[in-house]
Amino acid sequence: MLAETLLERTLGNVAGADVNDPGVLGRVGCWVAEVVTSRTLVALVRLRHQLTSQRGLQATTLLVEEATAIAWTGGPSSLEGPDALALLSPVPASDPPAHVRERAVMQALGQLDTRMSELDAFAERRAQALLADHRRVREAADALGRYSVKALLPADVIGLFVLLPKVD
């Protein structure tokens, strides 16, 4: 739900919208966040999957879209989905100076290219989770058939945010 709201507010028609509304994010940003202990990069992404159902000789293909997030916290692991989105929820502690913000955003945009394989792997994991969910529902409904899900790559990065730790 948070992803849908952020996506709608970020990409929606902002004419007449309150630009001070904390629920309206730009496509890039940088702020100081108390919830992080190291520089953290959060990418809002739109994932698209091709869901194919086959019953007998009849095949049906659907396009499934998902808005979610992935966050890189500086360590070897990343946060995904609700855990990554939760980093965007708290009110920022402060704004860094303009030159720091601009440099951090430019660095993040440059690093995004090196993260594309991780984004693709994330999309593949989400595709497999969608397939597992779809099979569970079909089995519960006693629906016969074969199902497959294919991630449509590359993922669309719709927002990129740099969260900086609070420094005393």
Of 168, 24, 31, which is closest to residue 93 (Cα–Cα)?
31
How much is the pLDDT for 15?
47
The predicted model gives 92-102 an average pLDDT of: 94
d(CA 88, CA 103): 20
Instruction: Tell me the residue range of the domain where 145 lies.
Output: 2-14+28-165
- Does 147 score more than 90 pLDDT? no
CA distances to 10, 20, 60, 110, 115 from 49, rounded to whole Å, are: 22, 34, 14, 26, 20
Whether residue 105 is contained in a domain is answered as yes
d(CA 85, CA 91): 13
Whether residue 21 is contained in a domain is answered as no
Whether residue 22 is contained in a domain is answered as no
Find out whether 27 and 158 touch, Cβ atoms under 8 Å. yes
Whether residue 93 is contained in a domain is answered as yes
Whether residue 58 is contained in a domain is answered as yes
Whether residue 19 is contained in a domain is answered as no
Its pTM surpasses 0.85: no
DSSP state of 114: G
Tell me whether the omega of the peptide bond preceding residue 82 falls within 30 degrees of 0, making it cis.
no
10 vs 65, higher pLDDT: 65
Give the CA dihedral 50, 150, 3, 99, nearest 10 degrees. -120
Hey, what are 93's tokens? 């502690």
Looking up tokens 């190291």 gives 38
How much is the pLDDT for 136?
86
Whether residue 69 is contained in a domain is answered as yes
The predicted model gives 126-146 an average pLDDT of: 86
How much is the pLDDT for 14?
46
Q: How many domains does the chain have?
A: 1
Stretch (H or E) spanning 106: helix 98-112
- With a CB cutoff of 8 Å and minimum separation 6, the contacts of 118 are 70, 72, 78
Tell me whether strands 28-33 and 146-165 are parallel, antiparallel or unpaired.
Answer: parallel
Whether residue 96 is contained in a domain is answered as yes
